[in-house]
Amino acid sequence: MGYASTQQTAAGIHTRLYSRAFIIDDGSRRVVFVTADVGMISQRVRLEVHANYMLTTCKQHTNNKLTKPTTCSTPTTSGFQSIDRAHQNMRPGRIYRNQGELDHNSINRSPHSYLNNPEDERLRYKDNTDNQVLVLKFTDLDGDDFFGLGVCVCVCVCVCQTNMCAAFGPGDDMFESTRIIGENIYRKAKELYATAVDEVTGSVQSAHQWVNMTDVSVQINDTHTVRTCKPALGHSFAAGTTDGGGALNFTQGAVEGDPFWDGIVGVLLGKPSNETKECHHPKPILFNTGEMNTPLPWHPQIVDVQIISIALIMLMMDTEVVIAGLSNVYTHYITTYEEYQVQRYEGASTIYGPHTLSAYLQKYRGLARAIAQDRVSELPVGPEPPFFTKNLVSLLPAASIDRKPDNTSFGEVLQQVYPVYRQVGLSCGVRHDSGLIQNSERDKTFVTVEILDNRTETWEVVHTDASWETRFHWLKGSNQQSNATIQWFIPPSAPSGSYRIRHFGHYKAWKGFQTVISPYEGSSDVFRVASSFYY
């Protein structure tokens, strides 16, 4: 998910990515809400689950292991393990809700587009960003906590391998910005969680339909009907955004094409039909994705709309609406009609044309009406999209065998730690001979930071590669050799004592006429953390 840049490659782990599943059952109906730390959900993954499952993402750009459900969307397959575990661990409980505002934690990256909306619409809100935070608190019947679910806010700060990213946020670098934004969200969510007393009771409902978004008729008023379009991306899509501009000479706000680029793209990928160009006006089409089908369709045509109703949290009769952004099939952006006219990045990336939002609103009104009237069973399922099994493409080479320098072993330390570190936020580092990350078990940590318990003479794990304080850097070198560098940013709160840093992995080697994957591990020397070097 490196912003379509070949230079933006994964280089290790800062924090782990998770998938979290929540099952809500009222005794007669059940819904499953899954939130995954990935950039988007693929249509192929969506087709693997039931209609009463909602798959949502945080829209962050640090996941990898890409699959190809459509040629233009390459999302992470996060697996279904969290859903299986949630089903296995279900037990009776209660849900409480709380809501508040988190101001000054995010910005609208295109205020110019937002200002093109009608004034009476903008006056309904105090800001040009959504600052609402809704927390659902899950407990057992005795009131003991399960965990909480925060909805409508995410930490979305890019993490790059190069200096191509333009906006780092409120911190000095991207790590610091992520920490600041994440801590602000955490504190607000924790505050709302602790004070949540409004119990959510009642029935569970869900409504789902497949929709051909390339051909939706929308009734604008009593006399006027418009339609959605075949997918297409505009010139301003290639210009990138304020927080990450494109590398070529495209600019945001383009409402006219460029003969040079239109000619090149037209020869390579084909020109859009007059019907598609007229439908997308005033967007100058750069990539005519709706008419490109090699090796697979470049954009989905049939997508799903879905509403999950949990008692009071639904879409009718003075109830509360919660928008779970980036749910199910990813279809780029959805701007208002007025924002679309400006044709900045977001408008150029609204792939079904200027009336995309109106089409979705029309479909969601139908779902909400069916739920309110208890007529969900009468809703037509809609045209289910194709489940592609052929022509699937991977841009990543298969994991090769691992090699190491002569007279060394995998996991061997190449660069040792110092004997003593102070508790002043210093970085402690160690480097190992390593195997390919792809050959390792993904659900096990590559890193542990351990402290010696002097009472029992045993080692206790205090950090893993999921901890904010650790960074696991992996580097592939020449001759199929690689190494791993582990950094521990020592917090001031770290207890004084003896520590070690361990690395775990797997390597692939030939054994006879077949390859075998074997585990390895390595450990740093023991070192001390103290308040002073003169401990």
- Phi and psi at residue 343, to the nearest 5°: 60, 45
- The pLDDT confidence band at residue 476, using thresholds 50, 70 and 90, is confident
- The pLDDT confidence band at residue 147, using thresholds 50, 70 and 90, is low
Across 287-309, average pLDDT: 92
Question: What is the structure's pLDDT at 1?
Answer: 64
CA angle at residue 421 from 420 to 422, to 5 degrees?
130
Percent of the chain scoring above 70 in pLDDT:
88
Q: CA 365, CA 379: separation in Å to the nearest integer?
A: 12
Coil, strand or helix: which one is 481?
A: strand
Answer yes or no: is pLDDT of 419 > 90: yes
Q: Which pair of tokens denotes residue 531?
A: 């308040």
User: Are the C-beta atoms of 56 and 33 separated by less than 8 Å?
Assistant: yes
- The pLDDT confidence band at residue 64, using thresholds 50, 70 and 90, is low
Question: What is the structure's pLDDT at 161?
Answer: 38
- The pLDDT confidence band at residue 72, using thresholds 50, 70 and 90, is low
Across 383-412, average pLDDT: 82
177 Cβ contact partners less than 8 Å away, ≥ 6 residues apart: 157, 168, 169, 170, 171
418 is in an annotated binding site: no
Across 494-502, average pLDDT: 95
Across 504-521, average pLDDT: 93
- The pLDDT confidence band at residue 415, using thresholds 50, 70 and 90, is very high
Question: What is the structure's pLDDT at 164?
Answer: 45
Identify the CA nearest to 192 among candidates 143, 146, 134, 138.
Answer: 134
Q: CB neighbours (10 Å) of residue 65? A: 15
Average pLDDT in the chain: 86
CA atoms within 13 A on the CB side of 432: 27
Answer yes or no: is pLDDT of 317 > 60: no
Across 396-422, average pLDDT: 88
Per-residue pLDDT reduced to its tens digit, 458-475 = 999 999 999 999 999 998
Q: Which pair of tokens denotes residue 386?
A: 């194709």
User: Residue 257 corresponds to which amino acid?
Assistant: G
Across 178-189, average pLDDT: 93
Per-residue pLDDT reduced to its tens digit, 335-382 = 999 999 999 999 999 999 999 999 999 999 999 999 999 999 999 999
Answer yes or no: is pLDDT of 31 > 90: yes
To the nearest 10°, report the CA torsion of 76, 80, 85, 87.
140
Percent of the chain scoring above 90 in pLDDT:
56
Q: CA 267, CA 254: separation in Å to the nearest integer?
A: 21
- The pLDDT confidence band at residue 66, using thresholds 50, 70 and 90, is very low
From residue 173, give the alpha-carbon distance in Å to each of 163, 243, 429.
11, 13, 20
Q: CA 157, CA 177: separation in Å to the nearest integer?
A: 7
Q: CA 341, CA 354: separation in Å to the nearest integer?
A: 8
Q: CA 211, CA 305: separation in Å to the nearest integer?
A: 7
H or E element that contains 132:
strand 132-140
Q: What is the model's pTM?
A: 0.88
Per-residue pLDDT reduced to its tens digit, 190-231 = 999 999 999 988 889 999 999 999 999 999 888 999 999 999
Q: CB neighbours (10 Å) of residue 423? A: 16
What residues pair up with 69 in beta bridges, in sequence order?
A: none
Q: Which pair of tokens denotes residue 363?
A: 């479909």
Across 408-417, average pLDDT: 93
From the number of C-beta atoms within 10 Å of its C-beta (0-12, 13-18, 19+), residue 189 rates as buried
Across 5-14, average pLDDT: 78
Q: CA 401, CA 184: separation in Å to the nearest integer?
A: 44
Coil, strand or helix: which one is 428?
A: strand
Q: CB neighbours (10 Å) of residue 300? A: 26
Lowest mean pLDDT among 234-243, 273-282, 307-316, 483-492: 307-316
From the number of C-beta atoms within 10 Å of its C-beta (0-12, 13-18, 19+), residue 54 rates as buried
User: Residue 170 corresponds to which amino acid?
Assistant: P
Asked if the 412-530 domain carries CATH number 1.10.3720.10, the reply is: no
Across 512-517, average pLDDT: 92
Q: CB neighbours (10 Å) of residue 135? A: 23
Can you give the residue ranges of every domain in the chain?
202-388, 412-530
User: Are the C-beta atoms of 449 and 463 separated by less than 8 Å?
Assistant: yes
Lowest mean pLDDT among 118-122, 144-148, 341-345, 425-429: 144-148
Question: What is the structure's pLDDT at 76?
Answer: 39
Identify the CA nearest to 45 among candidates 387, 307, 302, 289.
Answer: 387
Cis omega (within 30 of 0) for bond into 295: yes
Per-residue pLDDT reduced to its tens digit, 225-263 = 999 999 999 999 988 887 777 767 788 999 999 899 989
**Between residues 57 and 451, the one the model is more confident about:** 451
Kindly provide the b/e burial profile for residues 387-409, where b requires at least 16 CB atoms within 10 angstroms of the residue's own CB.
ebeeeeeeeeeeeeebbbeeeee
Give the total residue count for the chain. 535
Answer yes or no: is pLDDT of 312 > 80: no
